[in-house]
Amino acid sequence: MPEIPELEAIRGFFNEHIQGHAITSVETRIPFIFRTPASELRETLAGDTFGEVLRHGKFVLFPLASHRILAINPMLTGRFQYVEPAKKAAAKTCLVLGIDTGRQLRYADDKLMGKVYLVPVAGLDTIPNWATNGPDLLAPSFDEDAWLKALRKYRGAIKNIITNAEFVQGIGNAYSDEILWEAQINPYTPKTQLSEAELRKLYRAALTTMAWATPLARERMVKGDVLDYDERRDFVRVHRRGGQPCPRCGTSISEITANQRITSYCRACQPGGPAELLNR
């Protein structure tokens, strides 16, 4: 699932390559994912021009000169491409936009879980949960004090909280493991057992992790002026590295699978958590 580092890399790439450029053609190949009628995209997008591409949580936002926004949430398996038209399309390519650069912007989604909206600039709140979800992790107003204030109403395991979009947007399963490892906090520790200093450290670890991972994600996604990738996170320190040595202390990394989610952490660097889990 793309998270902030991958989506920030995509946003930056598109701002370098499509900002100010016009859409020349539109294909809506798999209408299932469109939350705005596919016919509206086909009939109205051609001739429109991209503004500065944005990101909010796990959405990539494409503002248009027509004062609309094409908003795409890739969910679990959605992938963006920017390629030559001659390149063979992926089996489940849902949307193809011809660009006046001669390239195509494609959105493909193996599990068809993504969502595509075309809304007025003032209509983002019509997207389900847009208004009720929490702030984006990298929002300038969401500083350390705002992080602490927002945490007050949440209880339970700290990993569950930081991956909850109602608290903060943009952190998923993979990078939550990396953030908690960076902060040396056990993912199963109840928030109520963490001190203010630890919660502040966690916020700083979140920002540090995103800044560290974003250029590494881009290296794996972008080749020159082409965006065409399978999501590779071979640079992560702990996520999905069960049984390998912790890069900080050498202890074997633990992995626990629960509710179809894998949690990876170092028991030595990240002590605590329920005893029944630690004894597995």
Domain 144-278, what fold? Helicase, Ruva Protein; domain 3 (1.10.8)
pLDDT in the model for residue 187 = 97
pLDDT in the model for residue 258 = 82
Q: How far apart are CA 116 and CA 244, in angstroms?
A: 39
Q: Per residue in 75-114, pLDDT tens?
A: 999 999 999 999 999 999 999 999 999 999 999 999 999 9
pLDDT in the model for residue 103 = 97
- Whole-number percent of the chain with pLDDT over 70: 98
pLDDT in the model for residue 232 = 80
The greatest distance separating any two alpha carbons of the chain, rounded to the nearest whole angstrom, comes to 61
Beta strand 54-56 with 59-63: parallel, antiparallel or unpaired? antiparallel
pLDDT at residue 136 is higher than 80: yes
Which two structure tokens, joined as six digits, stand for 165?
A: 């979009």
Q: Domain limits of the chain?
A: 4-126, 144-278
pLDDT at residue 279 is higher than 60: no
pLDDT in the model for residue 274 = 63
Which two structure tokens, joined as six digits, stand for 6?
A: 């991958």
pLDDT in the model for residue 278 = 46
pLDDT in the model for residue 1 = 81
Position with higher pLDDT, 6 vs 278: 6
Count CB-CB contacts under 10 A for residue 199.
Answer: 17
**CATH among 2.40.50.100, 2.60.40.1760, 3.40.50.10140, 3.20.190.10 for 4-126:** 3.20.190.10
- Over range 176-181, report the average pLDDT: 98
Closest-CA residue to 21 (of 50, 1, 42): 50
Q: How far apart are CA 131 and CA 133, in angstroms?
A: 6
Q: Per residue in 44-86, pLDDT tens?
A: 999 999 999 999 999 999 999 999 999 999 999 999 999 999 9
Question: Do 148 and 188 meet the contact criterion of CB atoms below 8 Å apart?
Answer: no
Q: Per residue in 182-206, pLDDT tens?
A: 999 999 999 999 999 999 999 999 9
pLDDT at residue 210 is higher than 60: yes
Per-residue pLDDT band at 220 (split at 50, 70, 90): very high
**Dihedral in degrees, nearest 10, Cα atoms 115, 32, 262, 228:** -70
pLDDT in the model for residue 229 = 76
pLDDT at residue 166 is higher than 50: yes
